[in-house]
Structures are given as structure tokens and as C-alpha cells.
């Protein structure tokens, strides 16, 4: 049986292949997102995580209320002779304590994403390198603001009447947010160094507990032993509480405010640089 063969012309790319090539290799690549756009996207990601896991807001809702009520009625009568006078002294300090204690969760979130491999994907994206970290902190600013507003609201119900008025209260909250943003960079560095998420929490608690309790949050340092006063006077939390108390009282302590500004700047420069160095090389 004779089998006839025909020579077909050389194969040419089909229309489908050409279309696929056009999609995969576009003539012009899209522009890289700006640092602001990339940071905003990661900040929105942090907000979405709160939306899908609203239990994350427990530490900035129930915890501040519990702390304010507990310490007001526990120490008010013994220290100031009544809760009305004591809440004037306590509320700025308890607001600082609640928000600063919350900053430790930033490092925990960073470590959680590292363990899941999310950061490996972030590092391959053509974006501004610090944007994932800054986005984390911008998302946390919402939590810090919520805690501050809740504590002030509870304080007003309990009789807190700041002489600085609404301007002093807003100025105090803004100062606290700036300090919390700066301190959060410390915990991002810890999150990149620590081996486990639990170790991040342990290191953070070991540092924050002495700093917040051995300060002027609850009592005037002049009632403490001289050796303890020296530590309290050098404590950055003490200067932060003093600055916020002063602006809420309508009599700004510019020495304390300057000290807080210098500390916040130094924290961002030192630990922000450390965080990015670890993020790029770890």
C-alpha cells in the first residue's frame, strides 16, 4: 500500500499564542507604586486583619476600661482621699500605660508573618522596602487611637476634667501616638531577631512592665525612696506621662515635651534603621 506524504509549511505562531505573548510580555511595564501608595496598601492590609479577627481589639477596648476602673477605685481613696481627685492625676498615666503596653503586639505580628513566609513574598515585590513595616505601624495607630479615646471617655464619666480642654486632650493623644509609633520600631526589631512569637512577647513584657510600673503613672515619685527616684527620673515613660499630663492640664512642660521629642526621634533613627537592616539581610 502506498502512503502519500505532504510537506506542510513551517509552523507559525497562532493567534492565541500571539495574544498570550502580548499579555505575558506587555510592551510597557506598569509604573512602580510610590512609597506612599505601597505604605497605604500595607496599612489597609493591617486594618483588614482587624476586620476579619475583631478579637484583636480586645486589648484596646476592654483592657483600657478595666485598667482605668480598677486603679481608680483601688488606689483613689488610699492615695488621694477620693476617686475624683485621683482620676485627674491617674488618667493621663493610665492612658500612656495602656497604649505603650499595646505596642508589643507589633513585634508579635511581624514574627507571625515571618513564620508564615509572608515576608519572603513581600521582599520579591517591586515596592519601597520599608513599606511593609511602616504599614504595620500605621495600622496599629488605629488601635492606639481607639484605646486613647476610650480611656478619655471613661475618665470623663468618672469625673476627669482637664483644664487644657479639648485642645489639651487632643494634643496629649497626638503626643502619645507619636511616642507609640516610635516605640513600636523597637518591637519590630525584636520580632525580626527573636526565634518564636512567644519569645517576642516575653522580651517585650520583661522590658515594658518595669518601665510602666516604676514610673509616675500611679504615684508622685517624691514619695519613693531616693534610689528608686533616680531610676524613675531617667525612665522615658515618666517623661512621656509628665508631658501629656502638662498639656492636658493646660500648662505645658516644655522640658518634658522636648525630652519626648528627642527620644522619639532617636528611637525611629536607631531602631528604624536596625529594623530595615535586619529585614534586608535576615
Q: Which position has the grid cell 517585650?
A: 204
Residue 113 lies in a domain: yes
Dump pLDDT digits (tens) for 110-134. Answer: 888 888 888 778 878 888 888 888 8
pTM greater than the 0.85 cutoff: no
Residue 29 lies in a domain: no
DSSP string covering 37-72: HHHHHHHHHHHHHHHH-GGGGHHHHHHHHHHHHHHH
**2-6, 115-119, 226-230 — which one is most confidently predicted on average?**
226-230
At residue 1, the pLDDT reads: 44
Dump pLDDT digits (tens) for 130-170. Answer: 888 888 888 888 889 988 999 999 999 988 999 999 999 99
Q: CA-CA distances (angstroms) from residue 142 to 18, 106, 124, 220, 225?
A: 48, 13, 28, 31, 38
At residue 186, the pLDDT reads: 93
Dump pLDDT digits (tens) for 88-106. Answer: 999 999 999 999 988 888 8
List of long-range contacts for 48-51, beta carbons under 8 Å, 24+ apart: 49/139, 50/139, 50/142, 50/143
Domain that holds residue 46: 35-281
Residue 3 lies in a domain: no
Q: How far apart are CA 73 and CA 84, in angstroms?
A: 10
Residue 82 — very low, low, confident or very high, per pLDDT cuts 50/70/90?
confident
Residue 22 lies in a domain: no
Dump pLDDT digits (tens) for 27-61. Answer: 666 677 788 888 888 888 888 877 777 766 777 77
Residue 19 lies in a domain: no
Residue 233 lies in a domain: yes
At residue 11, the pLDDT reads: 47
Q: What are phi and psi of 123, to 5 degrees?
A: -70, -20
Residue 30 lies in a domain: no
Q: Average pLDDT, stretch 60-69?
A: 83
Q: How many domains does the chain have?
A: 1
For residue 197, pLDDT over 60 is answered with yes
At residue 220, the pLDDT reads: 87
Q: Average pLDDT, stretch 235-243?
A: 95
**10-14, 79-83, 171-175, 223-227 — which one is most confidently predicted on average?**
171-175
Q: Average pLDDT, stretch 239-249?
A: 95
Residue 102 lies in a domain: yes
226/24: higher pLDDT: 226
Amino acid at each position: 500500500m502506498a502512503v502519500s506524504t505532504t510537506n506542510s509549511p513551517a509552523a507559525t505562531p497562532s493567534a492565541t499564542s500571539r495574544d498570550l505573548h502580548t499579555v505575558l510580555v506587555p510592551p510597557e511595564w506598569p509604573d512602580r507604586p510610590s512609597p506612599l501608595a505601597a505604605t497605604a496598601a500595607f496599612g489597609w492590609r493591617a486594618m483588614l486583619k482587624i476586620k476579619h479577627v475583631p478579637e484583636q481589639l480586645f486589648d484596646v477596648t476592654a483592657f483600657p476600661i478595666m485598667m482605668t476602673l480598677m486603679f481608680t477605685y483601688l488606689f483613689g481613696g488610699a492615695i488621694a482621699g477620693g476617686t475624683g481627685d485621683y482620676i485627674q492625676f491617674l488618667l493621663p498615666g493610665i492612658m500612656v500605660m495602656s497604649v505603650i503596653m499595646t505596642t508589643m503586639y507589633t513585634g508579635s505580628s511581624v514574627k507571625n508573618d515571618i513564620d508564615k513566609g509572608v515576608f519572603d513574598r513581600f521582599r520579591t515585590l517591586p515596592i519601597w522596602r520599608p513599606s511593609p513595616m511602616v504599614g504595620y505601624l500605621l495600622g496599629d495607630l488605629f488601635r492606639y487611637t481607639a484605646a486613647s479615646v476610650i480611656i478619655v471617655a471613661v475618665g470623663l464619666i468618672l469625673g476627669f476634667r482637664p483644664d487644657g480642654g479639648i485642645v489639651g486632650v487632643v494634643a496629649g493623644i497626638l503626643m502619645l501616638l507619636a511616642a507609640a509609633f516610635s516605640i513600636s520600631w523597637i518591637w519590630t526589631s525584636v520580632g525580626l531577631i527573636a526565634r518564636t512569637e512567644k519569645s517576642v512577647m516575653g522580651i517585650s513584657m520583661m522590658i515594658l512592665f518595669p518601665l510602666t510600673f516604676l514610673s509616675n503613672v500611679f504615684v508622685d515619685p517624691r514619695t519613693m525612696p531616693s534610689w528608686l527616684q533616680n531610676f524613675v527620673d531617667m525612665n522615658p515613660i515618666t517623661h512621656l506621662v509628665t508631658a501629656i499630663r502638662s498639656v492636658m492640664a493646660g500648662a505645658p512642660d516644655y522640658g518634658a515635651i522636648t525630652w519626648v521629642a528627642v527620644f522619639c526621634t532617636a528611637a525611629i533613627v536607631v531602631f528604624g534603621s536596625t529594623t530595615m537592616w535586619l529585614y534586608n539581610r535576615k
